Structure 1
């Protein structure tokens, strides 16, 4: 898995296509950046804000990159990572399973998922937050702890390794030197939400320490969605000498969240917030239910509401990382990093409860060097990495006794996955206005597991063990060209590649629909072409636009295996195409008369279609195959727009007073492969006002407050919808939209109008 992430602290979301040399943890050290179009002796003073995954590697030159800074999200309620990324072009999000389980997508990477972060690599301060099986979650992210977030868009396995199908995200925590003391804060608002948090920070040239802790709880706006989540986050940098640095990272999160069931579209329209459903199990009343085995083993079932059954997620995540950085000289830096990551889950989210630990270990080593080739700057990166995951999980039937009471075990799995990778990149500034980048990465993966299935009847019980083991080797080359004809323009093009192996859970149902070995699955791969431009004609306007076209092979999808199948199986869809545009604008329309006014706009157009895919549908008597070629890929939002109109008073009596009006538009999107049923789109209006007293007010300068109204018009909308399966009717035809509207397990409603406020004081 790879490396690289660190970016300049930017005060606004922006596309960054210039190449930045290796970033280390040397605070406030001058970094020499040879920009195309400038003399080679140009020196720029920048503040280093983080490092990358395998260490402090290089910025991905030529790759479309956007960032959001604390100024974009630090003055608001900050309930989840959605508040951090909403202004970033190319990024969309949906509601997952839990209050902070936001499903982030880069160019649609996870739009087809109902939980977690998929097909991207996630880092924090350069430490991996994606486990070796490609799983990452956003529960452990409290926006109050962060300075910013950088998003690297497009296929990126050359440097990030396995599962970087659509790019990578690096979250940057605040620096202790910037905090310089203790901050205490509280957020509070609708639906019983309280978040009490504290941040302690100190730093100088020899060390930097940040300690953050928060406890957030609330009742939720949907029945059975109350929650309590605590998070601790620590980052320590120590300069051992002028050439050696140690960085320690610690994150711990405990999620205690009750979970409502997802609805059908008809249920959502009848009762979006599932009110009055605690003891009801009637679909007609718009109430979701689960069918639980009465004795926990076999036989009769009883329908219960999620609240009566006690469904929820009770999980813990702990990450500990250590990085050593050593400068051989002023041109060469060596980074070595180790990370331990344990994800322990207890999830009665359906008629079964899923429990078990997932322990992972990641080590990496890389070197960056700056040299000259033909009198021009040449920046070289090379690194190796190894990560290993071992897990042991069990599933139990849930009994209708309340409190998610466990019945008999239904299955257990024990397995592993490890990835061994190497990567290399050259960035040569071969002319004053040009530089070219070439790179190559590869990963060898070993995935193996044994799954034991348990069956029960009135007279007998049985068990069956299935073993699956699969090896994969993938390569990912890339190339980019960057041209800066003037200080106002930067043009870039890039060809990137990516790969993602199946996970162990994909290997145990065969194409015949029976429990068995499904190890014929191939890795999904992609080749993407980006063409973009950044235009900065003045300090008052920044415009960044990138068009992308990506060709996918062997995408992993789930489909029916035919009549009498025990379940769906994972299949490689032969070919699909993803194409679109991302656009970011920041504009000060009246810099003289309204100096504190700004307009921020981010827009994403994402058109994804299957070009070669045949799906099998079955009923109790027959199966039929249907071509999906030319169909839109379900779950992918084709248009996403966020526009903010901001004002911060820069001086005078009202200095420090500010706020914004925000409009978010999300287009409708398909829910099924046949393109029969859509989730409706929506438009939301949010308002925010904050006050940061100026320094001249003395002690009052240490106090910050805000108030916010979300969904001002009180729209009823869909915050998250998982894909639904098409159905084959008795006449051999595909079901129409009216039938699919009754398919349950898909929809979570978004929040009705909500009011929030908060205070923060610094000592």
Structure 2
């Protein structure tokens, strides 16, 4: 029998629908196309991933992990939101809510689905630097996709090795500067429906010793809905120095400036059915909107000490200012001034036992957030009397270790552990009696095993424990009976036990992945009550998430296809009471995620220069609250795209266009879970066109 052992190669870019309906859709759509596939069969083969901390081929990892390639020159998409790229990955929901004041909704296997703003329950890293704060609150919009190289998505127990709120891990990697000694210039421009405009420019150059990249982009839209205009400016810079063959020093600096993001709020079901583009009156009365300014810089060092030993270190710091007006008068203006930073150090050693490879990594990470929070009464969209003044802090200190051992030619075992301490501190300047501090401690062990049955087939399984602390926002109120109730520091951290088994197959340009997973959480953080925009949270036990993920990729000559399917059975295993909405019965579905999700793509290259493609996205219904009294209907949407690449003198040109939601389907792109005003529904855009031109010199 032939054998296959784990190998580390050079980094390359990658990455029941009920019964008959699902099978019919699957057979018609085939297996769906990678947006950037070409006729090179190696594109679907060896892929190096780093999301599991030890760099190795995706095929060899005992975990559910995908890497999505990003080629900003040839990708027929505006590259504004991660939702444009992540639909081809099973197990993850990235919902573009047509509301730039609230960022994307991202959930992995149901973790993070109840977040009403930003991302929680899923850790986000950009070039190795956390975009998730120590309390578990993160942002996805700050990643510059116009200069990205790939996005990695890690799901399941292995993600727990990333610490607090790691129901899944999403990592974005910026492209490295060129090393050919030449200067590379790039530019792009695009326009689309709802007055969308995007311009971008980049310059990069370098050699084997030092190189740099600078990318600047601007995006603007009037929005699909009334009162949903947005403006966004981004700068991403990367400097890579290699003073010796053993040393690599990477510096990153980025700016995210969002001077305008109007918030149209959600709609009730009646309003959604009547006119999905409308805005509710409170949004206009209080001029609901958000502005964000963020500056961040960091340095990452990789130092090879010997053929066996490597040290990795990182340090970063940043500031983030947020000004937001909410749809309420009392404490309806939020003014946040954040400063944050952190450092990490890890040591990796490659050795052997009985002649078989054994690699291990140990490390420490510490991150902190200082948040000056001011609240004001909202007087028709302008700040009134001050109503809140706090200095809130969140800090974590984590120690971790991970080991991979190929103990037989066809068997590899993995083990890891992470010990975490998270501290939240509230310093209330208006009401000092509300001051307080709470510590959360947790140890997360993970075990994994993979059997390389053949060169083209392996089976794996892993199990692990994870945890998720309350965020500063979730800890803000312990009672809604008074105007200033004080923080809820008695909330406990949620703890989960996760397991999965899976199989991976690859043969030439054909790749198939299958995973079955199960997770049970204790002390899940859910709403207790909501009054005047203030939500109080509580802990409940026995929240279950289980399901199946299937991913297929294939290529036949000029046609390539890809499919990603997820079945998720997420439910409350134990009854509890929501004071505002009533009893939540055992067996109720977790809101915010569909039970079935299917994404397919097919791409055809009639010539070396031309590409045409079709995409389909199908989701089943999504419950909007814990009591399951309402649900957003299921939907299927279809998109078309085309591109043509040509040369004009010394430059390469890429002209593309895409038509999304071809049949102008009315559907809810996302839902605001457990909204106190029953405005649960955030409509997705109707039929829309976007065309663009990219060039590289």
Q: TM-score range by the shorter chain?
A: 0.7 to 0.9
Q: What corresponds to 1:107 in structure 2?
A: 109
Superposed CA deviations along residues 623-651 of structure 1, whole A, max 9, x for unmatched, are xx6352111111122111111111123xx
Give the whole-Å Cα distance in 1 for the aligned partners of 2:102 and 2:504: 33
Q: What corresponds to 2:539 in structure 1?
A: 572
Q: What corresponds to 2:270 in structure 1?
A: 266
Give the whole-Å Cα distance in 2 for the aligned partners of 1:566 and 1:289: 16
Q: Does 1:679 align with 2:646?
A: no
Superposed CA deviations along residues 346-405 of structure 1, whole A, max 9, x for unmatched, are 1113221111211111111110000111221110100011111111111111112xxx21
Whether the aligned pair in 2 keeps the contact of 1:668 and 1:681 (CA below 8 Å) is yes
Trace 1:508-657 onto structure 2 (pairs within 5 A): 508-510=476-478, 515-516=485-486, 518-536=488-506, 538-560=507-529, 568-588=535-555, 591=556, 595-617=557-579, 626-649=583-606, 654-657=607-610
Give the whole-Å Cα distance in 2 for the aligned partners of 1:584 and 1:46: 16
Q: What corresponds to 2:222 in structure 1?
A: 219
Q: Aligned-pair distance for 1:46?
A: 8.1
Superposed CA deviations along residues 472-517 of structure 1, whole A, max 9, x for unmatched, are 1100000000111111101110102211112233334336856245
Q: Aligned-pair distance for 1:271?
A: 1.6
Change (3 A) 1:754 1:157: closer
Whether the aligned pair in 1 keeps the contact of 2:413 and 2:449 (CA below 8 Å) is yes
Trace 1:332-343 onto structure 2 (pairs within 5 A): 332-343=309-320
Unaligned runs of 5+ in 2: 1-7, 16-44
Whether the aligned pair in 2 keeps the contact of 1:392 and 1:412 (CA below 8 Å) is yes
Q: What corresponds to 1:296 in structure 2?
A: none
Whether the aligned pair in 2 keeps the contact of 1:163 and 1:500 (CA below 8 Å) is yes
Residue in structure 1 matching 2:427, options 436, 450, 464: 450
Q: Aligned-pair distance for 1:222?
A: 0.6
Q: Does 1:77 align with 2:78?
A: yes
Residue in structure 1 matching 2:611, options 658, 665, 669: 658
Q: Aligned-pair distance for 1:79?
A: 2.7
Change (3 A) 1:513 1:174: same
Q: Does 1:151 align with 2:153?
A: yes
Q: Aligned-pair distance for 1:78?
A: 2.2
Q: Aligned-pair distance for 1:667?
A: 1.2
Superposed CA deviations along residues 259-305 of structure 1, whole A, max 9, x for unmatched, are 2121111111112101xxxxxxxxxxxx5122xxxxxxxxxxxxxxx
Change (3 A) 1:377 1:510: same
Give the whole-Å Cα distance in 2 for the aligned partners of 1:308 and 1:8: 56
Q: Aligned-pair distance for 1:81?
A: 1.1
Whether the aligned pair in 1 keeps the contact of 2:561 and 2:603 (CA below 8 Å) is yes
Q: Aligned-pair distance for 1:175?
A: 2.3
Whether the aligned pair in 2 keeps the contact of 1:132 and 1:360 (CA below 8 Å) is no
Whether the aligned pair in 2 keeps the contact of 1:252 and 1:317 (CA below 8 Å) is yes
Give the whole-Å Cα distance in 2 for the aligned partners of 1:565 and 1:230: 33
Q: Aligned-pair distance for 1:584?
A: 0.7
Report the structure number with the largest CA radius of gyration: 1
RMSD of the TM alignment (CA)?
2.7
Q: What corresponds to 2:257 in structure 1?
A: 254
Give the whole-Å Cα distance in 1 for the aligned partners of 2:425 and 2:83: 34
Whether the aligned pair in 1 keeps the contact of 2:136 and 2:470 (CA below 8 Å) is no
Give the whole-Å Cα distance in 1 for the aligned partners of 2:48 and 2:251: 17
Q: Does 1:754 align with 2:688?
A: yes
Whether the aligned pair in 2 keeps the contact of 1:513 and 1:567 (CA below 8 Å) is no
TM-score calculated relative to the size of structure 1: 0.81
Give the whole-Å Cα distance in 1 for the aligned partners of 2:79 and 2:533: 43
Give the whole-Å Cα distance in 1 for the aligned partners of 2:203 and 2:402: 38
Whether the aligned pair in 1 keeps the contact of 2:101 and 2:263 (CA below 8 Å) is no
Whether the aligned pair in 2 keeps the contact of 1:131 and 1:341 (CA below 8 Å) is no
- State how many pairs are aligned: 650
Change (3 A) 1:56 1:413: farther
Residue in structure 2 matching 1:321, options 298, 306, 326: 298
Unaligned runs of 5+ in 1: 1-5, 14-44, 275-286, 291-305, 454-462, 620-624, 727-742
Which structure is higher in strand share? Answer: 2
Q: Does 1:362 align with 2:362?
A: no
Give the whole-Å Cα distance in 1 for the aligned partners of 2:155 and 2:411: 22
Q: What corresponds to 1:730 in structure 2?
A: none
Give the whole-Å Cα distance in 2 for the aligned partners of 1:181 and 1:587: 33
Q: Higher RCO, 1 or 2 (CA under 8 Å, sep at least 6)?
A: 2
Change (3 A) 1:259 1:9: farther
Residue in structure 1 matching 2:137, options 131, 135, 138: 135
Give the whole-Å Cα distance in 2 for the aligned partners of 1:692 and 1:99: 35
Q: Aligned-pair distance for 1:214?
A: 0.2
Whether the aligned pair in 2 keeps the contact of 1:248 and 1:322 (CA below 8 Å) is yes
Q: What corresponds to 1:288 in structure 2?
A: 280
Q: Does 1:433 align with 2:415?
A: no
Q: Aligned-pair distance for 1:417?
A: 1.2
Whether the aligned pair in 1 keeps the contact of 2:227 and 2:262 (CA below 8 Å) is yes
Change (3 A) 1:714 1:468: same
Trace 1:118-129 onto structure 2 (pairs within 5 A): 118-129=120-131
Change (3 A) 1:9 1:582: farther
Trace 1:677-756 onto structure 2 (pairs within 5 A): 677-693=630-646, 699=649, 702-724=652-674, 743-756=677-690
Whether the aligned pair in 2 keeps the contact of 1:452 and 1:465 (CA below 8 Å) is no
